[in-house]
Chains A and B, each alone.
Chain A
Amino acid sequence: MKLFLTEDRSHVTALQDREKVDRLLQDVQAVSGRFKNEKGVQKISRTDKATLLQLYTRSTAVINDLNAKYHTPNGKNLLQIVKDYKKSFISSNFIGLKGYERALTDARLGLALWNTTLFTVVSVFLEFVLGLGLAMIMNKAFRGQGLIRTTSLIPWAIPTAVAALMWSYLYDGNSGAVSNFFQAIGLVHNSSDLLLSGSGAMMSTIIADVWKTTPYMAILLLAGLQNIPEGIYEAADIDGAGRIQKFFRITLPMLKPAILVALLFRTLDAFRVFDLIYVLTNGGPGGATETLSLYSYKTTFGQTNFGYGSVIVIIMFVCVAVIATIYVKVLGTNLMDKS
């Protein structure tokens, strides 16, 4: 700018105008001197920005003035250069709470939240009931106990990524054994519905998850069952308690700490479910099985929108923290008690 302006200066004839140009030149010199050794994007304070912007307005005014009065070789270019100078201000990319504002009205996020909740509630409930049953079977002393314990842990011993792949073969519409079986017993209308219809896909992922993690639940509860002293059951027998009474009055209350740990960690895991759904359905069909972590993954790495992806993660974190607090408050009263 300095260069062009000095060149144009010779065309400016009136003394008054010359002075103006000189003053502007001085100012520009001063400012460029200050930022001479800085490179790349600079962070500037608010007052700095004000002075720089003022300089911009002044130079535009002067140049416009000159252009109106004289015909200078660089008149039009100068204006462009000055404009560019203003454009070199990059406003901060700090957007405050706008990401959360967007999240509030994001229908896709609402759907993902609903899917995640549905998945978590149904699968954890089924896993808990089946896992408790399995734990009670494993707890009985009989011959072949080790064999039953080990075989029933098979599903959980298979890596999730591999198990999900396995299920995608079993659910396959043409050659899947499970999908064909479901069709035969009338659970689904068409064997390809399992992965290709919204409700079918959700059901499939839940079944696969229940199959996979029931043993995990069972072994956590089994360890808790082992800690209940036999004596209590004997005393209950003498008092004439029935099977069901013993279960609700002794087993469940005594199992509370183990139940807390099992439910807590299972819920947290189910809420963050990722690889199973990623492999089985990738959130489809039409977002019917898209969970929060999958949505955040797609936003973060698929659209490289790290900001909004993080917003989703934080929302997830808040949900999970609330769930954890509720569990600990409801079930955890005796976690800290000593026997």
Chain B
Amino acid sequence: MKKTNYKWSVLSIALIAIFLFGMIFPFFWILITSFKPDGEIFGDGAYRIIAQNPTIHAYIEVLFNKGILNSVKNSFIVATTTTVYIIAIATFTAYAISRFDFKGKNLLLGTILGVSMFPQMIVVGPIYNLFLHLHLTNSYAVVLPYSTITLPIAVWILVTHFNQIPLALEESAKIDGATSLQILYKIVFPLAAPGVFTTAIIVFIAAWNEFLLTITLNSDQSYHTVPVAVSFLRTQFQILWSEVSAATIIVTIPTLIIVLLFQKKIVSGLTSGGVKE
């Protein structure tokens, strides 16, 4: 019995390792490529794991000449703002949908879902016209239409999580004299932390990665976010592969830090023991 258990765990660890390797390999390869001089990216040097003449030229170029740091700053502002306001709105919406009975609840959920049913490039046109008339192009107001890509999923995730919090906890809080708002922020919100932080990660990354809206609404280079800035790393005739890889590495790091911080809150057992069953 012991022996098979041991075998089993070795096998599963090996499987997990292969799986994770597959997930990381492309990123790893880009990391390697970012240190290669242009001549080694295509042709014979392409399969070398360590470049013959490693160089950090691409990093220097991207960081100091192409202003990638400014776009990292922009992305950071845009993604953080979106995360905060979307979580706030989605919490209220989801709590209302989850806890209160009102007419047209399913219709509301369906409409929220409907927002994410249209291809984005069709939605972009009208939004551009709107922004042009409101003089909002080339500003951080681009976070407003971001809600079309992030709000639906945020609301849906939070509804499923709020539904799983035992009602008894809230009822006892009510008996102790808590108002609805207090219940939401002191009981439901902390207990739904795994859902809330999952939502936060998803919203943050979705906003960080948004491309089409930013490139359409903010044509001014000083407002470019990371994906847009990377897409401009090309000349008329070629894509600057080494710079693209270097930029990819640089812009992925901030998101990973955010994920690392947020994922700690995705823990189980918050509600266990809260209610005697």
| B23 with A174: CB separation less than 8 A | no
| A154 with B23: CB separation less than 8 A | yes
Shortest distance between the CB of B11 and any CB in chain A (Å): 14
Q: How far is the CA of A231 from the CA of B194 in the complex (A)?
A: 18
| A148 with B29: CB separation less than 8 A | no
Is A308 at the interface (CB under 8 A from chain B)? no
| B160 with A261: CB separation less than 8 A | yes
Interface residues of B in 241-277 (CB under 8 A from A): 241, 244-245, 247-248, 251-252, 255-256, 259-260, 263-264, 266-269, 271-272
| A230 with B269: CB separation less than 8 A | yes
Q: How far is the CA of A1 from the CA of B101 in the complex (A)?
A: 72
Task: Tell whether A162 pairs with B268 under 8 Å between CB atoms, given A215-B23, A227-B164.
Answer: no
Is B178 at the interface (CB under 8 A from chain A)? no
Is B127 at the interface (CB under 8 A from chain A)? no
Task: Tell whether A230 pairs with B272 under 8 Å between CB atoms, given A154-B23, A157-B255, A275-B211.
Answer: yes
Count residues of B near A (Cβ-Cβ below 8 Å): 75
Is A72 at the interface (CB under 8 A from chain B)? no
| A178 with B159: CB separation less than 8 A | no
Residue ID in chain A nearest B44 by CB atoms: A175
Interface majority SS (helix, strand, loop, mixed), chain B = helix
Q: How far is the CA of A162 from the CA of B263 in the complex (A)?
A: 24
Interface residues of A in 152-171 (CB under 8 A from B): 152-162, 165-167, 169-170
Residue ID in chain A nearest B193 by CB atoms: A226
Residues of B close to A54: CB separation below 8 A: none
Interface residues of A in 209-226 (CB under 8 A from B): 211, 214-216, 219-220, 222-226
**Can you sample 6 A-B contacts with CB below 8 Å?**
A158-B248, A174-B43, A229-B271, A230-B269, A321-B114, A339-B165
What is the interface of chain B, defined by CB distance below 8 A to chain A? 16, 19-20, 22-24, 26-27, 29-30, 33, 41-43, 46-47, 98, 105-106, 110, 113-114, 116-122, 152-153, 156-157, 159-161, 163-167, 194-195, 198, 201-202, 205, 208-209, 211-212, 226-227, 230-231, 239, 241, 244-245, 247-248, 251-252, 255-256, 259-260, 263-264, 266-269, 271-272
What is the interface of chain A, defined by CB distance below 8 A to chain B? 130, 133-134, 137, 139, 146, 148-162, 165-167, 169-170, 172, 174-178, 180, 211, 214-216, 219-220, 222-231, 257-258, 260-261, 264-265, 268-269, 272, 274-275, 293, 296-297, 300-301, 310, 313, 316-317, 320-321, 324, 335-339
